[in-house]
Structure 1
């Protein structure tokens, strides 16, 4: 230690060196308590391993002076000196053997130079790593065992076992069959490379091989691997192990359904490699099929023939199960299945699901478009089931069948014209379905088409006379008439039926609402009160007539009512009455012609419906019910059902001089009332 001293008078500085003498008050120490080495057992002698060095804070002679180690036969201690310290090394002087001793424990001691000296220790562990220096060993060189032939596949035959003194991968053994064995050995046996179990892999046949010799090799997983060998001799014991064999020498896979009984479809032979009772065979057909087995002139050769007629539609294919069984003590058998397809013959006609068919079509359909379709099925297949359709034309091109056309391939029926319910209510035609077999077979179906009414007719006003849906008439009445006087009736009819033909009347325009009233159902115009001197002499009434269709159609009529003095009305009534009678007679004549035509057409429709009803089958017959809708009216209707639908045909039943009171399902037609103005003047 060096000190600086300062003297003031005189001012001087002096350096003083102080030396401290060491005392051995520390023991040597190691940075770790334990040190471990892993050394392979094949490491050559002379290899050195550096040990941890000890540290001692003392100096000089009191510092570390030497190292010592536990005496042993495998290691020496080697010290490397340097200016600063000593470094210990562990030197291998004799090879290690893990199988004799896998771990060595040594103690390294560090000694200082103090008196008395102090020491420190380090535990040194040497773990000996395994080397592949031991080969697998079998307990014997040759093993023997016996098995019966036909032993099931997967059966364990023998377990090979070898041992290896090494550890880890060096002691893990894998087994394998020798590389130079016969091919039949590899096909018959398999060896589990991990467990050494030998199992049956293929069929064991005493007649082919009565003994097998297997060379087995056991190898460890060391580097390089070491191996050992042994031989396993397997003797096979004979049993009745040969099942009969069925050979099809001739086969026709298809047979026509119209083949006669006794037709030969196949020849077969049966054999058995065994002899005596083990080789005698009983053959039979075990499935329920219309075929039988017949023996031929040669033993164990049979023919398969048909027993009865076939029907492809009932059974399109058969599986013929043939079984051959030997007569050994433990019987063996063999089976064979023949798949026979029954070839189709065109022996079924096309069938419609219902005959007759009923279709309902709304009038005013688009011409040329599909309206419905017919479909037939054929139990045959392929070309025998390909169906073409055509319509039977009745009465040439003038017949109603010319109204429609059918797509020959899919049966879709299209209308060649737009139908009008008021002209045609129903018609009938026949569709023929023909298959494509040879010869072709056909069937037909009757199709009844019912035209359904649409609201396509505008109400026609008969009075006042009109040609364009709007008219104007003049009525003269005396001023002195009382309330409720019948001025006139607006007469109209609608060619539609049901709601589409139910007409309602309403006042669209009137000069004085207090004077005139209109019955919405009959079209009668009556006075609501007596006329006064202040009332206008002429009144204009615009009447709207409309039907009750979903989209209603309408027409209008104008009635001019003129008020005249009673005398003038009486004088003019004779002239007017005569002219009006002539006018009404003409209207009545044309009306009677129209109504007669409509009634005749309607009656024909009823007759056709009743005829179709009588010709229907019980399951599909439409039910018709005739009923009178309104008592005391001239309207009537025919109701009919088909399936879940209900339809109503409504038509007039009229006579001249009658008035139809409109109902919810009837046309409304008001006929002229034969009256004279003079009769209403009192």
Structure 2
């Protein structure tokens, strides 16, 4: 018997293999190492980092690791040196069985960016297994009448090693009766047979004890032994004979229990019980065969009683014995080889070699997201796998090497449309019918700042009453950003611009966090009617994005101005003057006319006149709308020669504002009508005044025509828009012309009541220089027409001079004061 190798010998052998047989080569872009099996843990296999051209920094920063496609992690990477070392015991026989080649495929995976390389480790066989027999002792019964040269099959030994280390030969202990011959069967194995060389004589020697030794081809040689005990019997000198020594049959692996496998028939030349044959499994039949197959001892029918699995065993070799019932029993032997046919009963398996990496929105096409591999336990076409993405997405599969793929981006991604993609990968084999499996890979999208803030609308109209409290809120701006985090954090600011040659920041300020706009001071409608603010919303991304919106602020008029008397003017005519009036004046005689204006607009500027106090209330009356002072009756001799009138002027606002003027009148005898004299005096300049009146009438007519055309255009637009939207909004902010300040024309026409006025705003919205108000008194005898700038609230000297030129040159006395109500 060969001496077994001790632990030290093993250790020396492993080091010898490592130092002298460690090889690597690159074939078709793959790195291969070759090592003997049973290397101790921590043994160095090779340096893939060096062989792949990677530095030590790459090993650390890119997290170099090894993924085994075999499931068990037999190797690991030394992070300090980049060496591939043994991580677990490697038994070649357990991994590859009797296969000639034993290669472990590995993937070297690196992150940031994701890359993988395929390496292969060839496991070389060492002579670590001795040949062995299923039983230590074999009993044979041989009749003494057996002819010389008769062969008796013996049990074959098994050696798990391969190549030179596998079973090579047999030897038989020295004896006088038997020799050892070999027979090669169809499976390629060599079966030892005993050959009778000398006639047996039971009376001389009833038992023969032999030793069969199996030897392998390793260095040193390893062996296994089996004792053979031969019992010499006589009588029944014919044994059952099978038609063939080896029967072959194929079964599909999905065959059900009870499936018929084969019918065996052995014939025996003897008669009676000596020729009655029964069939049995060989005495050395393994449990794996006994659990799957059953034999009818009378008929020789072999049936399936277990489950076949091609992936567990591709073939079964069954020893069958046919025994007669003679005395002694005679045996015949044969073998049945059952080949298992593979069916497509294993679905492909999808394996994530690396976890999916998040993808930036601006990642270019071809960015690696994850590494995927697939495997199928079936063979041939049943094991050919096709991978595809079942749902539409901006990703695709890029094949790298055998059933290994890289999941890459095929187009740009947009987090605002989809923040996470659940990519469904389907693996389908080529079997019939094909089997498939699915797995879902979640890929999250990293936000980049690719969306500017967006206001709810491009322009806003804000209406603010004048005399507002400083610090009050004007409007709250709101913008939204589709991005995330800092890319969606918005700050608000006001872009610098001018309002009446003053920076807009002196009028308003904005809260940068919430977009609320506040007034810096109180506004006066009479000085500023409208201005605009450019608001910018900017995110905090890098680089930051922004958008602008325009805020139009309209100041609304309040009744904060009392009517101002422009005729009679005490400043122009002196502190006190007397109006002379003839006692012969009849009823309806025009004594004088009081004229006042209000710096406010709208109803706040509607003026009415009332006689508040009079020396004789029955003698005079004041027209409510025109301010004309006339006699209610004829003057009598009993009336006082000095009359004093207190006339109150009120507007139509809320609250009401008013002022008063005092007129003193002297009644004299023999005084001519001053109005008639005045008309004679004014006969010369009447042509010039008539020309001015004509110009004013033409201007008013032009404004009226322009107003009519504007209203018609608005009506047509309203009708067109109502057909599509069903509504018509007559806001000034919706008009196209209003958006262009250079073409803007605002006309405010009010005809309520006896007082007629028109406000015309032309040119730039923010300009106050072309804003005029026309006031006329339709009941006036002289048809006065006055143009007044509303921004001027106190200086009416020019207007007074115009009125003085159209009224009688007399020495009337006026007193005025403002009264707030």
TM-score by length of 2: 0.43
2:356/2:441 contact within 8 Å kept = no
- 1:674–1:638 CA distance, 2 compared to 1 (3 A): closer
Give the Cα separation in 1 of the matches to 2:468 and 2:496: 22
Secondary structure of the corresponding residue to residue 250 of structure 1: coil
- 1:634–1:550 CA distance, 2 compared to 1 (3 A): closer
1:242/1:332 contact within 8 Å kept = yes
- 1:356–1:387 CA distance, 2 compared to 1 (3 A): same
2:581/2:671 contact within 8 Å kept = no
Give the Cα separation in 2 of the matches to 1:310 and 1:621: 45
Q: Does 1:282 align with 2:386?
A: yes
Show CA shifts across 1:367-387 (max 9, x none): 111111323332322211111
Q: Which residue of 1 aligns with 2:621?
A: 517
Matches within 5 A, 1:436-455: 436-455=540-559
Q: Which residue of 2 aligns with 1:323?
A: 426
Count of matched residue positions in the alignment of Structure 1 and Structure 2: 401
- 1:519–1:335 CA distance, 2 compared to 1 (3 A): same
Q: Which residue of 2 aligns with 1:29?
A: none
Give the Cα separation in 1 of the matches to 2:439 and 2:579: 105
* 1:427 CA displacement: 2.1
Give the Cα separation in 2 of the matches to 1:678 and 1:458: 27
* 1:206 CA displacement: 7.4
Give the Cα separation in 2 of the matches to 1:466 and 1:345: 74
Q: Does 1:272 align with 2:394?
A: no
Q: Which residue of 2 aligns with 1:162?
A: none
Give the Cα separation in 1 of the matches to 2:655 and 2:441: 71
1:613/1:621 contact within 8 Å kept = no
- The match for 2:773 among 652, 662, 672 is 652
- 1:369–1:626 CA distance, 2 compared to 1 (3 A): closer
* 1:333 CA displacement: 1.6
Q: Does 1:491 align with 2:634?
A: no
Q: Which residue of 1 aligns with 2:536?
A: 432
Give the Cα separation in 2 of the matches to 1:209 and 1:307: 41
Give the Cα separation in 1 of the matches to 2:417 and 2:581: 88
Show CA shifts across 1:596-634 (max 9, x none): xxxxxxxxxxxxx9999878669x999855476679999
Give the Cα separation in 2 of the matches to 1:440 and 1:650: 42
- 1:484–1:513 CA distance, 2 compared to 1 (3 A): same
1:543/1:556 contact within 8 Å kept = yes
Give the Cα separation in 2 of the matches to 1:616 and 1:342: 44
Q: Does 1:343 align with 2:476?
A: no
Q: Which residue of 1 aligns with 2:104?
A: none
Give the Cα separation in 1 of the matches to 2:732 and 2:540: 37
Give the Cα separation in 1 of the matches to 2:738 and 2:478: 19
Matches within 5 A, 1:318-397: 318-394=421-497
**Rg comparison, structure with higher value:** 1
- 1:548–1:472 CA distance, 2 compared to 1 (3 A): farther
Q: Does 1:530 align with 2:652?
A: no
Give the Cα separation in 1 of the matches to 2:519 and 2:487: 30
Q: Which residue of 2 aligns with 1:231?
A: none
Give the Cα separation in 1 of the matches to 2:446 and 2:558: 53
2:449/2:483 contact within 8 Å kept = yes
* 1:660 CA displacement: 4.3
Q: Which residue of 2 aligns with 1:408?
A: 512
Greater Cα offset, 419-428 or 243-252? 243-252
Q: Give the aligned CA root-mean-square deviation in angstroms.
A: 4.6
2:608/2:624 contact within 8 Å kept = yes
Give the Cα separation in 1 of the matches to 2:310 and 2:507: 85
Q: Which residue of 2 aligns with 1:674?
A: 807
- 1:209–1:455 CA distance, 2 compared to 1 (3 A): farther
- The match for 1:257 among 361, 384, 404 is 361
Q: Which residue of 2 aligns with 1:508?
A: 612
- 1:321–1:617 CA distance, 2 compared to 1 (3 A): farther
2:343/2:382 contact within 8 Å kept = no
Give the Cα separation in 2 of the matches to 1:438 and 1:412: 25
Show CA shifts across 1:481-523 (max 9, x none): 1222111222221100121111111223334443212111111
Give the Cα separation in 1 of the matches to 2:579 and 2:357: 97
- 1:310–1:466 CA distance, 2 compared to 1 (3 A): farther
Q: Which residue of 1 aligns with 2:561?
A: 457
Give the Cα separation in 1 of the matches to 2:596 and 2:568: 9
* 1:295 CA displacement: 1.4
- 1:330–1:349 CA distance, 2 compared to 1 (3 A): same
Gaps of 5+ in 2: 1-252, 257-306, 314-341, 682-730, 763-769, 777-781, 813-821
* 1:635 CA displacement: 4.0
